[in-house]
Amino acid sequence: MTSYDDLLAFDRDHLWHPYSSMTAPSPVQQVLSARGVRLRLQRDSGPVEVVDAMSSWWCAIHGYAVPELDAAVVDQLGRMSHVMFGGLTHEPAVQLGRRLVDLAPAGLDKVFLADSGSVSVEVAMKMAWQAHARDGIGRTKFFTVRGGYHGDTFSPMSVTDPDGGMHSLYAGFLPEHVFADRPPATGEPLEEWKSATQALFEQHADDVAAVILEPLLQGAGGMHAYDPEAVRFLATLAREHGALVIFDEIATGFWRTGTAWAADACGVTPDVLCVGKALTGGYVTLAAVLTTAEVAAAVDASPAGAMMHGPTFMANPLACAVAVASLDLLAATDQAANIARINAALDEGLAPARDLGSVADVRTLGAVGVVELGTPVDVRRVTEAALARGVWVRPFRNLVYSMPPYVTSEEDLRTITTAIVEAVEEVHG
């Protein structure tokens, strides 16, 4: 075993963390283990247990060391951990495919299993490209709204918010797509945004292969909730002009915003749906792209004659088996009621933050609770202040938020919201 000091020293000198500097890294916490909704951390003072307010970037919806999920992995491990998916198939992939087709909006019954959210967005964009390549014209643009986040590989980055830093950094390398303004926040008037968006769309209509969106809630782009009517408007624009509709539900899927899919709340069935993050209950990376028979046929009618993507670890059996177990667990509870329970607790617990001078907005949607400051968060100090109150949060930009596991009790939700409000007050006033 590496000593605590050696472990942190090696980590600091050799390991990149997400969006981190190798030369001036931010502090990291060592996790010893995780169980239920608690992470056991090694701190300078010794081991401590904290409540996880993040679901490990929104994945661990059932918490950690979940007996049913552990059992699914162990059981599958006894058969095989991996086989190639080229020319072979297996029970976990077929079971997962069935469950996804059953849960997805009707008509989305063709499934491509990918290794991560970003890769699923790559695949969705390639599908849209190929589907239009059939008529020999080709449509080279994607249409989206500002403020979105679709992943870190190049194609997803090219439709992620252009003002978020990545675009200027990679200018000249990223393809240029078409960005409408971010839709107004829920409850604000839409008319002006609609007419500007329509005018912009019409300028590019013949070139647009697809509209790509995070329906209802933009996640990593700023936890921005917007009106279902804006989603319907964009989908209608796309269809009037022969473009496909891609929903990136990697963050919003599996009940996070209160319905199985944000698409359900919008009353729109997309042509292509990307899912990831919570798909395996946070156990291991896996994502999926679902589409219709019509799009699949259009893809096959392209010059390639097939969908041109095939990851080495496509449909990894361990990942599929744990995803099946996770979807079974989700189905065993009335999630509409459960998410409403979490929403009520986040709403009530975060409300006092409205009285803080540093706070610009407090909002909740489903199992998402957000405190938005007027200035960037002092991430290091707010993280420490929350840890001191027994809670793990990971703020970004001007946001301190929670996306707790769905199994979090009222008492633990109270611990989370109290820690967030008090940490913000202590550090930012």
- Judged by CB under 6 A, the stretch of 148-156, 180-188, 352-360, 408-416 that binds ligand PLP is 148-156
Nearer to ligand PLP, 287 or 427 (CB): 287
Closest approach of Cβ 146 to ligand PLP, in Å? 15
Per the CB < 8 A criterion, the answer to whether 14 and 6 are in contact is no
Per the CB < 8 A criterion, the answer to whether 400 and 291 are in contact is no
Q: Which residues contact 262 (CB under 8 A, 6 or more apart)?
A: 214, 215, 216, 217, 231, 247, 249, 252, 253
Per the CB < 8 A criterion, the answer to whether 105 and 263 are in contact is yes
- Judged by CB under 6 A, the stretch of 22-30, 104-112, 117-125, 299-307 that binds ligand PLP is 117-125
Count Cα neighbours of 200 within 13 Å in the Cβ-side half-sphere.
18
Nearer to ligand PLP, 160 or 197 (CB): 160
Interactions with ligand PLP, residue window 243-272 (CB under 6 A): 248, 250-251
Closest approach of Cβ 393 to ligand PLP, in Å? 17
Nearest to 155 by CA among 133, 130, 177, 178: 177
Dump strand ranges (E) for 108-172.
Answer: 110-114, 141-145
Nearest to 108 by CA among 301, 271, 303, 223: 271
Catalytic residue among 227, 248, 264, 271: 248
- Among all chains, which residue has been given the structure tokens 């896996």? 286
CA–CA separation, 136 vs 405, rounded Å? 47
- Taking residues 36 to 75 in sequence order and writing x for each that binds ligand PLP by CB under 6 A, - otherwise, the string is ----------------------------------------
**Is 117 near ligand PLP (CB under 6 A)?**
yes
Closest approach of Cβ 53 to ligand PLP, in Å? 17
CA–CA separation, 356 vs 421, rounded Å? 9
CA distances from 327 to 78, 211, 253, 387, 403 (A): 21, 28, 12, 31, 19
Catalytic residue among 161, 264, 277, 406: 277
Active site (annotated) includes residue 248: yes
Q: What type of residue is 292?
A: T
Active site (annotated) includes residue 277: yes
- Judged by CB under 6 A, the stretch of 116-124, 175-183, 263-271, 368-376 that binds ligand PLP is 116-124
Interactions with ligand PLP, residue window 165-224 (CB under 6 A): 214, 219-220
Q: Which residue is nearest to ligand PLP (CB)?
A: 117
Active site (annotated) includes residue 110: no
**Is 118 near ligand PLP (CB under 6 A)?**
yes
Catalytic residue among 64, 149, 226, 406: 149
Nearest to 52 by CA among 405, 411, 407: 405
- Among all chains, which residue has been given the structure tokens 């992620």? 160
**Is 116 near ligand PLP (CB under 6 A)?**
yes
Active site (annotated) includes residue 4: no
- Judged by CB under 6 A, the stretch of 115-123, 205-213, 235-243, 295-303 that binds ligand PLP is 115-123
Total residues at interface with ligand PLP (CB under 6 A):
15
Nearer to ligand PLP, 112 or 345 (CB): 112
Catalytic residue among 5, 13, 19, 44: 19
**Is 122 near ligand PLP (CB under 6 A)?**
no
Nearer to ligand PLP, 133 or 157 (CB): 157
**Is 161 near ligand PLP (CB under 6 A)?**
no
CA–CA separation, 5 vs 51, rounded Å? 24
Q: What are the phi and psi torsion angles at 144 (to 5°)?
A: -150, -175
**Is 121 near ligand PLP (CB under 6 A)?**
yes
Per the CB < 8 A criterion, the answer to whether 286 and 115 are in contact is yes
Catalytic residue annotation: 19, 149, 248, 277
Residues forming contacts to ligand PLP in the complex (CB under 6 A) are 116-118, 121, 149-151, 214, 219-220, 248, 250-251, 276-277
